[in-house]
């Protein structure tokens, strides 16, 4: 075979023919003429997710208030059911997972429950590359304790502005740290942190550790229970394809069962006690204790349909195709875009690379707008980042090839120059 055969459209089409997951593309709503490369911001709607939403609406229509205990999926137990379906994706026991709240709410719950500043241990360790909502939440929690975030929030520095050195994180695990909050996958560069190693090092020093899995769940395998991770939290609208505002998830290692929730609400009650209406909370014996208010059922319903696909395929097969697609995209970028000033800023090592490609270019905002004009949906990250996520369940190798060809044409013809190099309101 010609050593440059991978540069051809025919090669990409052959990869699609050989793809064992190709039938799942038919499960999603793909808009004609559009190549969607933004699944790491918002996953596409699947027919199963749509169906499970309609079924939830139908149960309301059919049963009214009795939907809490009747129908295919009684509402009273729906959060636990989704937790059970999510558990295999993160390597957790079903009772350690609950689908509830939002990313930020669940982080607040973790910190308010388990951050107990005492004596010398009064600090929280995070990093400077974390998603802003996590940092906002951590600063506000420190403020609640009367602690100055400038002094008590440690943010590990990045040497290159894209990735973190795990040795630097470990060196920052000093004896004044009570809690660590890190991302499983960094949202910009897609770097995977070694969660097992960092957990082991934290526990050696008597520190609790939590991971934000927003950019890792549904994209890479995890073994949280085996690794001994204390807590994790995530959104469900990116790789899990649960829809905009989908209900998020929370993992609490069984070692921490029995803790009184820092932010208590009636849905954290033991199921058999909840409707006794007592003013003394009897918490659920598992992760369900960390729920607060009534579940947002219409925002949780699509996740059920989506999770059936993940359970059917298995995260290992999804990960394998994701790695193959991102490797293919990087090869094409290296060959076709080498003269146009792009920098591949995501890790190239498979053990460190998440589910998306991260390119940097000084004209990134303009280039993203030009891509949209060419029917390709990317994701811009200020100041000069372009994220492209070929998703295993619905993107094709030909779409990867066409995306790189579009970038080449945009740059060669200078199409990007017709746009302002400034982000839109929502980037």
Q: Give the annotated binding-site residues.
A: 103-104, 131-134, 212, 215, 237, 266, 294
CB 375 within 8 A of CB 34: yes
Strand boundaries in 253-309, DSSP class E:
none
Record the tokens describing residue 365, joined without a space: 């905002």
Contact criterion met (CB below 8 Å) for 355 and 220: yes
Using a 10 angstrom Cβ sphere, with 0-12 exposed, 13-18 middle and 19 or more buried, the burial of residue 91 is middle
Task: Report the binding-site residues for pyridoxal 5'-phosphate.
Answer: 103-104, 131-134, 212, 215, 237, 266, 294
- State the DSSP string of 172-211: T--TTEEEEEEESB-TTT-BBP-HHHHHHHHHHTT-EEEE
Task: Tell the residue number behind the tokens 């295993």, with chain if given.
Answer: 392
> 354 near 217, Cβ under 8 Å?
no
Measure the CA angle with vertex 281, ends 277 and 286; round to 5°.
115
Name the phi and psi angles at 51, rounded to 5: -65, -40
Bridge partners for 121 per DSSP: 118
Measure the CA–CA gap between 329 and 419, rounded to whole angstroms: 25
DSSP states along 345-384? -S--STTTB-SSEEEE-TTHHHHHHHHHHTTEE-EEETTT
Residue 167 neighbours by CB under 8 Å, 6+ apart: none
Residue 416 tokens read as 């990007």
Q: What is d(CA 370, CA 401) in angstroms, rounded to the nearest whole number?
A: 17
> H or E stretch including 112?
helix 103-114
Cβ atoms of 282 and 267 closer than 8 Å = no
CA 200 – CA 393 distance, rounded (Å): 33
Instruction: Kindly provide the b/e burial profile for residues 189-205, where b requires at least 16 CB atoms within 10 angstroms of the residue's own CB.
Output: bbbbbebeebbebbeee
């Amino acid at each position: 075979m010609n050593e440059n055969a991978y540069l051809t459209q025919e090669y990409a089409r052959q990869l699609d023919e050989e793809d064992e997951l190709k039938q799942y593309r038919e499960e999603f709503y793909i808009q004609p003429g559009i190549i969607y490369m933004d699944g790491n911001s918002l996953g596409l709607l699947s027919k199963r997710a749509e169906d499970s939403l309609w079924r939830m609406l139908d149960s309301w229509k059919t049963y009214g208030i009795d939907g809490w205990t009747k129908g295919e999926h009684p509402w009273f137990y729906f959060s636990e059911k989704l937790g059970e379906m999510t558990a295999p994706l993160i390597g957790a026991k079903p009772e350690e997972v609950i689908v509830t709240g939002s990313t930020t709410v669940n982080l607040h719950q973790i910190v308010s429950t388990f951050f107990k500043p005492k004596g010398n241990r009064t600090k929280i360790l995070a990093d400077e590359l974390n998603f802003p909502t996590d940092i906002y939440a951590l600063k506000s929690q420190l403020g609640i304790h009367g602690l100055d975030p400038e002094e008590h929030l440690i943010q590990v520095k990045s040497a290159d502005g894209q990735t973190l050195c795990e040795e630097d994180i470990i060196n920052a695990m000093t004896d004044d740290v009570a809690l660590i909050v890190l991302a499983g996958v960094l949202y910009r560069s897609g770097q995977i942190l070694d969660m097992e190693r960092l957990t082991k090092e934290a526990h050696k020093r008597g520190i609790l550790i939590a991971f934000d899995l927003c950019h890792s769940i549904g994209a890479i395998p995890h073994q949280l229970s085996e690794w001994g991770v204390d807590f994790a939290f995530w959104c469900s609208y990116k790789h899990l394809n649960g829809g905009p505002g989908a209900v998020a998830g929370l993992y609490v290692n069984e070692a921490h069962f029995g803790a009184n929730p820092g932010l208590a609400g009636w849905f954290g009650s033991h199921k058999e006690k909840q409707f006794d209406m007592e003013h003394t909370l009897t918490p659920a014996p598992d992760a369900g204790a960390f729920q607060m208010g009534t579940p947002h059922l219409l925002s949780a319903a699509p996740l059920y349909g989506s999770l059936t696909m993940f359970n059917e395929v298995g995260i290992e097969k999804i990960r394998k195709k994701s790695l193959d697609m991102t490797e293919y995209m990087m090869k094409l970028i290296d060959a076709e875009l080498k003269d146009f000033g792009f920098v591949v800023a995501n890790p190239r090592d498979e053990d460190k690379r998440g589910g998306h490609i991260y390119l940097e270019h000084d004209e990134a905002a303009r280039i993203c707008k030009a891509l949209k004009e060419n029917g390709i949906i990317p994701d811009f990250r200020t100041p000069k980042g372009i994220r492209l996520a070929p998703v295993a369940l619905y993107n094709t190798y030909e779409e990867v090839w066409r995306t790189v060809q579009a970038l080449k044409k945009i740059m060669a013809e200078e199409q990007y120059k017709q746009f302002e190099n400034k982000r839109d309101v929502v980037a």
